[in-house]
Amino acid sequence: MSQSTVLTLFLLGTAIIAIVFWWVWRSSYQTASQSVEPLRRWVFIGLLVFAGIFTGLTLSRMPYFLYADEMPARVVHVVARQFAFAISERPIENDADYAAALGQTVELPVGQVVEFRVTSFDVNHGFALYAPHGRIVAQVQAMPGYINRLRWRFDQPGEYIAQCLEYCGAAHAGMHARFVVK
């Protein structure tokens, strides 16, 4: 679901909830008692059906299995460390590799699957991919001692920003890297 769709659904749901509460509040100025208890069962069933369908449909869209049956065209290694990302097509296993990769601008192919292997050399960081239109298209965490694998296919060429999205210390806001998709 895109961010705009989520916002629209949220505002729609909020409006419905607010209208129901407003309507009930207005009714409280009357005293003609009327039991609404029989409605409870239908509310419960309705919610169960809605939740079942909605969550069931979305469960199949887990990001863990994105492009799982395709061979990635590129494998990109990402190491986060306060307060910069090293991104390279070569493995980054130590401080020397990290220093060598720092500041390199990686070029990635448009329309092909890329696998990011993301880890951290110090604290937890986030690795969020901002597309040229300024919105997040994908993200994963960078955790020390673990490698998170994120597969993604860039459909739009341009300059992308990888931004740290997990608070990692005083200079967290400026922790980002650029790469080009063409």
Residues of this chain, 70-129, that bind another protein according to CB under 8 A: 82, 122-124, 126, 128
Token representation of residue 81:
């460390």
| Strands laid side by side in the 148-153 sheet | 84-88, 74-81, 113-120, 148-153
CA atoms of 145 and 142, how far apart (whole Å) = 9
- In the region spanning residues 144 to 173, those forming contacts with another protein, defined by CB under 8 A, are 144-150, 161, 163, 165-173
**What's the min distance (Å) between Cβ of 48 and another protein?**
6
33 binds another protein (CB under 8 A): yes
Token representation of residue 68:
């799982």
CA atoms of 16 and 23, how far apart (whole Å) = 11
Q: How many residues bind another protein (CB under 8 A)?
A: 78
**What's the min distance (Å) between Cβ of 108 and another protein?**
18
**What's the min distance (Å) between Cβ of 17 and another protein?**
6
Sequential DSSP letters for 1-25: --HHHHHHHHHHHHHHHHHHHHHHH
CA atoms of 125 and 131, how far apart (whole Å) = 19
Q: Is 179 exposed, middle or buried (0-12, 13-18, 19+ CB in 10 A)?
A: buried
**What's the min distance (Å) between Cβ of 70 and another protein?**
17
Stretch that binds another protein, among 67-75, 87-95, 107-115, 131-139 (CB under 8 A): 131-139
Nearer to another protein, 76 or 126 (CB): 126
Among 76, 87, 101, 139, binds another protein (CB under 8 A): 139
68 binds another protein (CB under 8 A): no
**What's the min distance (Å) between Cβ of 25 and another protein?**
7
